[in-house]
Amino acid sequence: MLRFQNGKDFLNKQTLTLPINQFRYGQIIFPCHLGIISIGNVSTSMLNKLRFYLDQTFDSFFFDIQFIEDTKLHPDTFELKVKEEHNLLNKSSEKVLLQPTNKFYEIIVDKKFKYNFDIGLGLTNLPIYSSSNENLLFLFGEAHIKHMCAIVSTHNLIDLFNLEDFKLKKIERRIYKEAVHEIGHLILDCGHCLNDYCVMRFSKNIKEIDRKSIYLCEKCKLKLEKVRARDNF
């Protein structure tokens, strides 16, 4: 589920010093540099297409989109704070191990500083739960405004009980929508949109992701233009 998380410091063990010129508090000056980091086993064949959709939706908001592939969760921390749960979304009787989102944020923030990204988006095949609200299990994705990073998990974007779902294009499209959605949170700094077809609509299941488009509605586009006017580009 695409929960919008704001104002909580998941990374309280780390004190992050942000370069003053580049950042206002919790805010980036656009256009900026986006890094996409694949964590775990993520097919990288779709990355160029993802870049295309991000460019299409957030036209000229990124002067560069860079991919960092094959990042892994450290084996020492893999078992830390995992939750073993039944996956009700997939109606499966088997339990799955869910990873807390802050593990991913730590990796993404680290890469952000290493490669000078302003925004970091992680893509993972691992199932995730929210570190800020441990009742939010099996998320599709989450954004962390303060650290300007987001994570999208592909784990629940495949409906194992629907054969149609094994069509890769369909699954990829969901991943693109979720990635655009989380980046939308980071740029627009806003909650969810009520327009059924807007990519900023909150989706509680795959069906709802399939129903919405990959694009911003007119109202959200206006918000985007306000950010563009603010940063004068």
Q: Does 2 bind Zn ion (CB under 5 A)?
A: yes
Task: Give the shortest CB-217-to-Zn ion separation in angstroms.
Answer: 3
Tell me the three state secondary structure of residue 232. Answer: coil
Largest CA distance in the chain: 53
94 among known catalytic residues: no
- Bridge partners for 4 per DSSP: 143
Instruction: Classify 148 in phi/psi space as left (phi over 0), alpha (psi -120 to 50) or beta.
Output: left
Least Å distance, CB 223 to Zn ion, is 8
Smallest gap from residue 220 Cβ to Zn ion (A)? 3
Number of H helices, E strands in the chain: 6, 11
Tell whether residue 214 is a contact of Zn ion (CB under 5 A).
no
* From candidates 152, 200, 214, 224, binder to Zn ion by CB under 5 A: 200
Contact of 107 with 122, CB cutoff 8 Å:
yes
| CA 184 distance to own-chain centroid | 9
Length, in residues, of the chain: 233
Asked if residue 195 binds Zn ion (CB under 5 A), the reply is yes
Q: Which of 149, 217, 224, 227 binds Zn ion (CB under 5 A)?
A: 217
Out of 128, 152, 220, 227, name the contact with Zn ion by CB under 5 A.
Answer: 220
Q: Which of 50, 54, 119, 193 binds Zn ion (CB under 5 A)?
A: 193
Instruction: Tokens for 155, please give them.
Output: 């784990």
Q: How far is the CB of 201 from Zn ion (least distance, A)?
A: 7
In angstroms, how far is CA 124 from the centroid of its own chain?
Answer: 10
Of 198, 206, 214, 224, the residue at the interface with Zn ion (CB under 5 A) is: 198
∠ CA 51-35-20, rounded to 5°? 130
Q: Which of 182, 208, 218, 225 is catalytic?
A: 182
148 binds Zn ion (CB under 5 A): no
Residues that bind Zn ion (CB under 5 A): 2, 4, 193, 195, 198, 200, 217, 220
Q: Which residues are catalytic, by number? A: 182
